[in-house]
């Protein structure tokens, strides 16, 4: 492979010391975890011109003398009044205009002017001031970033606290020494997005949550301080709780640790032992306990039952730290003969790979949107999510834990230098308690490395790192090499096939002991609501027919999968369209067409193929729509996707024939177009189900459909509002392209708009104070983020010649 349009160069350690508990400053409250997303100021800097980069690195003693910041914007009292107010998560790239540049990096990142060619758009400065009460001065303080894209440098009160290279891993820094109590503190971050890490849209900025954590000098370690896992034996589970502590105080400490389990309602159901722990000064100690959980309820896809473990660290009987962690009890079995089993039940992996951006907001998604997307996938029948090609935000994993979705969690690069080994460590330590994660992925399609001896050694190193931190799971690697058993494939416990499914049988015959999964399959390209190829607008028909040379239709991979019990199933590329990788065309196409749903999560035709065979729902879907004015008498290819046994198609009441439905297939009729109504009548298990598409009149009124009508006034909650138009008779107009304007009154904000058109150059963000978007294929979407006050919100949508629509939303106090 691959396309020319993308570049893919491309217990326990018990140290006994004298103890003086009284030497520890006693905190007023145990651990706090404070959201730090509000109240930031933002300004672009410059990657090559220091005069436009707040004198960064010149004419000052930034890295020469401790705490010196003269002449830079890092200084505590720097006047940032003119900077833009932002609330995290924030992605500054989504607001930049699209720009054609003949360059593979720019193309693969979706024609946004960021990166080495655009020094003026590639550095972002963030400032936030905050107060800490003197009463808390005995505690430790830590700043936690869940994702900054990328190469960030962080200062507190002019003191450099550290840098973070990865655009995808979480990081935290102890900032205790630099705090000014009862005074203004300034946190400053310089973000450098000059270099890319991927070959897809990545955005830029502090695009995930930020937290201020505080805890006692003796505390559960931030990275991996608690590891909980369970083994099930008949009905009971043995829950292992491994805790690790560190001591940042001024003397050694003796404490005790005890954990207890609660059910999903918070009721205490089992307790562990109270165990002694001695933590040397500036040292670490680990303690392991086992707790029996009687009649354990298993976590599964339909009932994702989550328990909690609560661990308490005490000195002289007083709790000085506590952590609460959700976990699930479940078993994963990977058989080279029988495929994958969840809790002993055979199950095909009906997976999708996804990048992290969404319409309107780029990479900066409110948490609600993570849940929204996972719910959409579940409705389609998806049971597994691959986080391509990088560590996800923790909220995505929370959504998968809560809603019942398996996750393959992937690190960014397959390599084992200090930086990238640490990235894998950080990923595993952060994510290993998530019930949903069934497998780690140590990398994807490393062309230069995957077949080599170096690749094998790197993989062995990463696998050892993984096993040392999480012996409860296995890893795979996404290899696009077909029947090749060299390099990484020689040592990987679960062979991952990216495409090349023609080589599956030979590979399995040669290596019958190695379980095989389709780490990446399909890559079918379709444009929602467009049924005719259009090389000018760069659209591909919304039927399961178009795919690049290395890929296949949805039907092809799923039929191959169904016929092979040993093949675990796989991850279709991709669940949703994403920015970048315009394929098969380039400009004016700015986002991929690989999604089974578009950028907004609106389903394409292929969605109904998967839903037919991945769920028990009654699916009966006709494509295309039936608005073909000017094509009267011409043949139109009509696809029916269903899981019924047979289908009869009628045009304006006249039968066009009845057909038996092939399992894991679809049906096609060629129909001479006449306006009216096309109806499918199907039999499913002795029942009749019907579905129609109908020729509509012109759009007459706007309809606004929110994902929820009530939000919490916490500044973070969000609702997704889908927009469509109806004709006079109340029928949705599937090819409408009206421009719709939005106005929101009340204490909340629109944060992005989209319509799923892969060639739309309309802004996703507000321009000149106005929010607007054209419908594409009759649909658009906007995302509203809650404000901080209880309020009634009114969203008004208007469009020329259309009856306007008011949507009333409630915003209620709460967290």
Contact between 608 and ligand GAL per CB under 6 A: no
Q: Is-contact 364 586, C-beta < 8 A?
A: no
> Among 170, 191, 187, which Cα is nearest to 178's?
187
Asked if 246 is an active-site residue, the reply is no
577 lies in the site for ligand GAL, by CB under 6 A = no
Q: Is residue 480 a contact point for ligand GAL (CB under 6 A)?
A: yes
Phi, psi of 423 (to 5 degrees): -60, -40
732 vs 173: CA distance, rounded Å: 52
Shortest spacing between CB 522 and ligand GAL, in angstroms: 8
Closer CB to ligand GAL, 574 or 679, in the complex: 574
Which of 445, 470 has the CB closer to ligand GAL?
Answer: 445
DSSP class per residue in 68-118: --TTSTTSTT---TTSEEE-SS--SSTTSPP---S-HHHHHTTS-S-STT-
- Note whether 445 binds ligand GAL by CB under 6 A: yes
Nearest CA to 227 out of 298, 272, 287, 167 is that of: 287
* Residue 302: CB minimum distance to ligand GAL, A: 31
Dihedral of CA 329/335/341/347: which sign? Answer: positive
- Give the 3-state secondary structure of 159-191: EEEEEECCCCCCEEEECHHHCCCCCCEEEEEEE
- At 431, is the secondary structure helix, strand, or coil? helix
Which of positions 659-678 make contact with ligand GAL (CB under 6 A)? none
Residue 445 designated active-site: yes
Q: Which CB atom, from 92 or from 610, has the smaller least distance to ligand GAL?
A: 610
Question: Contact with ligand GAL (CB under 6 A): which of 440, 497, 567, 573?
Answer: 573
Active-site entry in 246, 368, 520, 581: 520
- Distance, in Å, from the CA atom of 703 to the CA atom of 724, rounded to the nearest integer, reads 5
**How many residues at the interface with ligand GAL, by CB under 6 A?**
13
Of the two residues 125 and 578, which places its CB atom closer to ligand GAL in the complex? Answer: 578
Positions 547 through 566 that interact with ligand GAL (CB under 6 A): 548, 551
- Which positions from 492 to 531 touch ligand GAL by CB under 6 A, shown as an x/- string? ------x---------------------x--x--------
Least distance in Å: CB of 582 to ligand GAL?
A: 11
In the complex, least distance from residue 201 CB atom to ligand GAL, rounded to whole angstroms:
12
Q: Give yes or no for a contact between 179 and 135, defined as CB atoms under 8 angstroms apart.
A: no
Cα 599 from Cα 756, distance rounded (Å): 5
- Residue whose C-alpha is closest to residue 241's, from 305, 176, 286, 281: 286
**Nearest to ligand GAL of 3, 786 (CB atom):** 3
Report DSSP state, residue 362.
Answer: B
Q: Which is nearer to ligand GAL, 198 or 754 (CB)?
A: 198
CA gap 721, 755 in Å, rounded: 11
Least CB distance to ligand GAL at residue 483 (A): 17
- Candidates 78, 90, 92; CA nearest to 187 is 78
Nearest residue to ligand GAL, scored by beta-carbon proximity? 523
Q: Are strands 268-271 and 494-498 parallel, antiparallel or unpaired?
A: unpaired
Give the containing element (helix H, strand E) for 646.
Answer: strand 646-651
**Minimum distance of ligand GAL from residue 455's CB (angstroms):** 16
- The whole-angstrom separation of Cα 306 and Cα 503 is 40
For ligand GAL, give the closer residue by CB, 4 or 670.
4
Closer residue to ligand GAL in complex, CB, 428/551? 551
Q: Do the Cβ atoms of 694 and 676 come closer than 8 Å? A: yes
2 or 87: CB nearest ligand GAL: 2
Nearer to ligand GAL, 323 or 354 (CB): 354
Does residue 48 contact residue 120 with C-beta atoms inside 8 Å? no
544 counts as binding ligand GAL under rule CB under 6 A: no
Nearest approach in angstroms of CB 787 to ligand GAL is 37
Site for ligand GAL in 579-598 (CB under 6 A): 581
Distance in angstroms (rounded) separating the CA atoms of residues 402 and 305: 8
Question: Which residues ranging from 368 to 427 are in contact with ligand GAL (CB under 6 A)?
Answer: 389
606, 526 contact by CB (below 8 A):
yes
Provide the minimum distance between the beta carbon of 110 and ligand GAL in the complex, in angstroms, as a whole number. Answer: 13
Name the catalytic one among 197, 202, 445, 581: 445
Q: Which strand (E) or helix (H) includes residue 368?
A: helix 367-380
Tokens read off for 778:
């009759």
Decide if residue 444 touches ligand GAL (CB under 6 A): yes
Instruction: Check if the beta carbon of residue 153 is closer than 8 Å to that of residue 41.
Output: no
Separation between Cα atoms, residue 443 and residue 449, nearest integer Å: 11
Q: Smallest distance, Å, CB 104 to ligand GAL?
A: 13
CB of residue 577 to ligand GAL, shortest distance in Å: 12
Q: What gap in Å lies between CA 201 and CA 812, rounded to an integer?
A: 35
Active site residues: 445, 520
- Residues of this chain that bind ligand GAL (CB under 6 A): 1-2, 389, 444-445, 480, 498, 520, 523, 548, 551, 573, 581
């Amino acid at each position: 492979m691959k396309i020319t349009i993308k570049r893919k160069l491309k217990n326990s350690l018990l140290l006994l010391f004298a103890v003086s508990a009284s030497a520890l400053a006693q905190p007023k409250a145990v651990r706090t975890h404070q959201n730090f997303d509000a109240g930031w100021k933002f300004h672009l800097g410059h990657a090559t011109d220091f005069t436009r980069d707040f004198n960064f690195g010149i004419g000052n003693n930034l890295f020469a003398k401790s705490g010196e910041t003269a002449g830079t914007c890092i200084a505590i009292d720097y006047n940032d009044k003119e900077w833009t107010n932002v609330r995290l998560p924030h992605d500054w790239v989504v607001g930049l205009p699209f720009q054609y540049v003949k360059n593979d990096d720019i193309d693969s990142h979706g024609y946004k002017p960021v990166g080495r060619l655009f020094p003026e758009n590639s550095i972002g400065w963030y400032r936030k001031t905050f107060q800490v009460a003197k009463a808390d001065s005995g505690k430790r303080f830590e700043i936690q970033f869940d994702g900054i894209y990328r190469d960030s440098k962080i200062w507190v009160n002019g003191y450099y606290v550290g840098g973070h290279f990865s655009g995808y891993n979480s990081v935290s820094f102890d900032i205790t020494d630099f705090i000014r109590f009862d005074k203004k503190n300034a946190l400053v971050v310089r973000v450098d997005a000059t270099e890319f890490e991927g070959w897809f849209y990545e955005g830029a900025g502090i695009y995930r949550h930020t937290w201020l954590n505080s805890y006692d000098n003796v505390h559960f370690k931030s990275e991996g301080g608690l590891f909980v896992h369970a083994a099930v034996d008949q009905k009971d589970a043995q829950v292992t709780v491994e805790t690790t502590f560190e001591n940042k105080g001024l003397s050694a400490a003796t404490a005790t640790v005890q954990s207890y389990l609660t059910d999903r309602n918070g009721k205490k159901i089992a307790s562990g032992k109270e165990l002694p722990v001695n933590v040397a000064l500036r040292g670490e100690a680990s303690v392991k306990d086992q707790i029996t959980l009687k009649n354990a309820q298993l976590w599964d896809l339909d009932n994702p039952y989550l328990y909690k473990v609560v661990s308490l660290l005490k000195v002289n009987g007083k709790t000085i730290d506590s952590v609460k962690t959700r976990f699930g009890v479940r078993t994963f079995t990977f058989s080279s003969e029988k495929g994958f089993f969840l809790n002993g039940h055979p199950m095909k992996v009906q997976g999708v790979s996804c990048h992290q951006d969404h319409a309107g907001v780029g990479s900066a998604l409110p948490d609600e949107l993570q849940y929204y997307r996972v719910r959409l996938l579940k409705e389609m029948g998806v049971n597994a999510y691959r986080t391509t090609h990088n560590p996800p935000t923790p909220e995505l994993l929370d959504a998968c834990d809560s809603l019942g979705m398996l996750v393959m969690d992937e690190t960014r690069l397959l390599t084992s230098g200090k930086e990238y080994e640490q990235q894998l460590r950080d990923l595993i330590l952060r994510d290993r308690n998530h019930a949903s994660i069934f497998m780690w992925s140590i990398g994807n399609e490393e062309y230069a490395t995957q077949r080599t001896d170096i690749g094998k050694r790197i993989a062995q190193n990463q696998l050892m790192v993984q096993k040392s931190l999480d012996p409860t799971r296995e890893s795979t690697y996404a290899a696009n090499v077909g029947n090749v058993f060299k390099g990484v494939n020689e040592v990987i416990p679960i062979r991952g096939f990216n495409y090349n499914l023609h080589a599956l049988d030979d590979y399995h015959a040669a290596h019958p002991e190695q379980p095989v999964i389709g780490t990446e399959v399909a890559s079918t390209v379709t444009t929602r609501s467009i049924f005719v190829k259009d090389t000018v607008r760069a659209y591909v028909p919304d039927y399961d027919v178009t795919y690049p040379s290395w890929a296949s239709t949805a039907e092809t991979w799923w039929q191959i999968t169904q016929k092979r019990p040993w093949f675990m199933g796989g991850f279709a590329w991709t669940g949703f369209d994403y920015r970048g990788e315009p394929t098969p065309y380039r400009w004016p196409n700015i986002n991929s067409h690989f999604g089974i749903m578009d950028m907004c999560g609106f389903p394409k035709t292929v969605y109904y193929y998967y839903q037919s065979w991945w769920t028990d729902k009654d699916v009966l879907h006709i494509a295309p729509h039936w608005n073909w004015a000017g094509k009267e008498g011409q043949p139109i290819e009509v696809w029916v996707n269903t899981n019924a046994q047979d289908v009869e198609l009628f045009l304006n009441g006249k039968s066009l024939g009845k057909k038996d439905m092939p399992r894991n297939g679809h049906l096609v009729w060629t129909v001479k177009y006449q306006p009216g109504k096309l109806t499918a009548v199907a039999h499913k298990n002795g029942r009749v189900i019907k579905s129609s598409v109908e020729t509509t009149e012109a759009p007459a009124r706007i309809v606004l459909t929110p994902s929820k009508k009530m939000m919490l006034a916490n500044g973070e909650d969000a609702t997704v509002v889908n927009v469509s138009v109806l004709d006079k008779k109340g029928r949705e107009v599937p090819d409408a392209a009206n421009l719709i304007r939005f106005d929101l009154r009340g204490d909340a904000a629109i944060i992005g708009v989209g319509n799923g058109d892969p060639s739309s150059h309309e802004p996703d963000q507000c321009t000149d104070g106005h929010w607007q978007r054209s419908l594409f294929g009759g649909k658009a979407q906007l995302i509203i983020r809650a404000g901080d006050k209880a309020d009634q919100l009114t969203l008004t949508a208007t469009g020329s010649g259309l009856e306007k629509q008011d949507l009333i939303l409630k915003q209620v106090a709460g967290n």
